[in-house]
A and B are shown apart, each in its own frame.
Chain A
Amino acid sequence: DAGITQSPRHKVTETGTPVTLRCHQTENHRYMYWYRQDPGHGLRLIHYSYGVKDTDKGEVSDGYSVSRSKTEDFLLTLESATSSQTSVYFCAISDNFQETQYFGPGTRLLVL
């Protein structure tokens, strides 16, 4: 998985609670991404980061926020989880703009 870890790997939470997912990389890549994967949809970009404290929105960013205080860590926060955010979340990294993205193992989130 190209030196990418995600935590937790599985989480069950209740509607309305905050949730934070963590992505950690050991590759020193500049770009980091958060995607969600749902049946019937391709992977969809939530947010991405192009450097420490530099982030931007993706296709499906509503209800999510991100932070990147160190090169190696990229956090995804659901401020108030909803059932529609039940999904599998993948982190990805790339060395530079529009270079190949490498994916982490994923976090399976269930919001009850």
Chain B
Amino acid sequence: EDQVTQSPEALRLQEGESSSLNCSYTVSGLRGLFWYRQDPGKGPEFLFTLYSAGEEKEKERLKATLTKKESFLHITAPKPEDSATYLCAVQAQTGANNLFFGTGTRLTVIP
């Protein structure tokens, strides 16, 4: 069964304190792994798609990496505006057209 587990559930960082969020997955043939950011009361906002182990993508203070079993979202020198819930989702190569989402990591960056 396809499954996505995100850790930690919540993370508090001081401004400038770098850290990583983890997304572990099991899927019968990975087509893509997606990272989204979700602010309170809003819909998920697309950040990255990763397709194969070893791939990395960057956007401002965020860098996403992918292995065969997990993905990391590295946050370098975070700012308070990076506070949000970060969602990971995986898509299998076959089967219905949908994404399997994790429950997210709620990040708080303290000034």
How many residues in B have their beta carbons less than 8 Å from beta carbons of A?
A: 24
How many residues in A have their beta carbons less than 8 Å from beta carbons of B?
A: 25
Grouping DSSP codes into helix (H, G, I), strand (E, B) and loop, the B interface class, with mixed when no group exceeds half, is strand
B96→A43 contact, CB < 8 A:
no
Interface residues of B in 59-111 (CB under 8 A from A): 87, 89, 91, 96-104
| Chain A 17-40 per-residue mask, 1 if CB under 8 angstroms from chain B, else 0 | 000000000000001010000001
- Give the docked Cα–Cα distance between A76 and B44 (Å): 19
- Interfacial chain B residues near A105, Cβ < 8 Å: 42-43
Query: Which residues of chain A have a CB within 8 Å of any CB of chain B?
Result: 1, 4, 31, 33, 40-45, 48, 50, 56, 58-59, 90, 97-98, 100-106
- Minimum C-beta distance from A94 to chain B (A): 8
- Give the docked Cα–Cα distance between A8 and B42 (Å): 14
